[in-house]
Amino acid sequence: MTETMFWLITALMMLVSIAIFVLPIYRGKDQDEEASRDELNKAFFRDRMEEIEEEAQEGLIENQGELAVELKQSLLDDIPTQQAVTESKNTVSAMMLAPGVLILVILSYFLYNTFGSYGAVVSWQETTNNLPELSQRLMSESQEPLTDQEMADLTLALRTKLQQTPDDAMGWLLLGRIGMANRDIQTAEGAMAKAYGLSPENSDIKLGYAQSLIFSGDETNVTKARGLLREVIREDHANMQAFSLLAFEAFERGAYDEAIAAWSTMQKLLPENDPRIAMLERSIARANTQMNVGSGLKVSVTVTLDEDVILPEQGVLIVSVHSADGAPMPIAAKRLPINQFPLTVELTDADSMIPERLMSSLPEVLVKARIDHDGNVMTKDGDWFGETLPFALGGQSQIVINQKY
């Protein structure tokens, strides 16, 4: 809705309100005056006719008929002309109603300006008009990244557009990607599912939908995601993003041989001097390390929440392993969704932060668990956390999250 249309609609509403205010008074006044005059004339006519009848019976008058005719004529003479009625109505109504109409208009716009959301409506319209520019900046690597406020504006504008064009599959895909970027898995999954329903053969939509399903953490969704990724690979044997997502999901599931196979295929698809080859080699080495880790070289902790802890809507759980002296730099870490508690977490050398310093090299460890409310691992203010006492590597422990930074 444009601003011009908004003012036209409000003006129309004011006209309707004025009509509701004016017409009953205008018509009611006219009807009351006419009704009062008619009733008074009828009562006077009846009384006078009775008097004439009585006087005629007593013999006081002889011309009863003439008197009755004169009485009727006087009653007709008392009826005002239409012009007089109209002039009376117009003059009196304008004088009486003009102040009330003026007050109605001024008061209505004053109350809307004070308690309404006109400023929010204007801001929403401006944001909607900026949708093409914000979308271009989001997709362009050469321009400055969007701020948090601009991301929120883009989401609002995109939702508005999708309400008007709900069959826009690429619009739903973009909304899903924004949800992924904002770590809003629920929005991402819902938008991607809508896009997939509209265009199930589109490879980009399949990849986006599979990614949202993987990050949902639900086993049924993850199984569906694997099927979608394999469909993409069957259609495009060199799709790097599909292989990457497939390797990531396999590694998180503990299927390290599948992850290594996917990463190895990616290596073969890349040119010899591509810098991504080194990254893939590190990932393969990490998967091999995990496959060779003994059953005793792991840390297992059960995380529970204190009753005072309130979980954020889009928070994550960060479980980190530290040296027994409590050094702030973690040796290994894992990032998990806050779906349910209590939660048992296992960390191994595959979760080590630095390949040169594996968790298995420590005789004792200390484990910390923190609920990160904003997705930024560098900020801790307001986060709930808990930690264990030092215990031997390979042992089990429990953490109660009951403290706040």
Q: Which residues of the chain have pLDDT under 70?
A: 1-3, 6, 21-22, 24-38, 41, 45, 59-65, 68, 71-73, 75-97, 116-132, 134-135, 137-143, 292-296, 355, 374-379
Q: Which two tokens stand for residue 297?
A: 């070289």
Q: Return the ∠ at Cα 165 (arms to 140 and 121), rounded to 5°.
A: 80
Short-list 388, 381, 303, CA closest to 338: 303
pLDDT of residue 184: 82
pLDDT of residue 207: 93
Per-residue pLDDT tens over the stretch 293-334: 544 477 888 888 888 888 887 778 888 889 888 888 888 888
Level-2 CATH architecture, domain 299-404: Sandwich (2.60)
What does the DSSP 8-state code read for residue 352? B
Token pair belonging to 350: 């595959």
Q: Which helix (H) or strand (E) holds 397?
A: strand 396-401
In DSSP notation, 141-208 reads SSSPPPPHHHHHHHHHHHHHHHHH-TT-HHHHHHHHHHHHHTT-HHHHHHHHHHHHHH-TT-HHHHHH
Q: Which residue has the tokens 């390797």?
A: 247
CA dist., res. 93 & res. 81, Å (int):
18
Looking at residue 93, its pLDDT comes to: 54
Rounded Cα distance, 285 and 292, in Å: 11
d(CA 71, CA 127): 78
Domain boundaries, the chain: 3-116, 249-292, 299-404
Q: Quote the pLDDT of residue 205.
A: 92
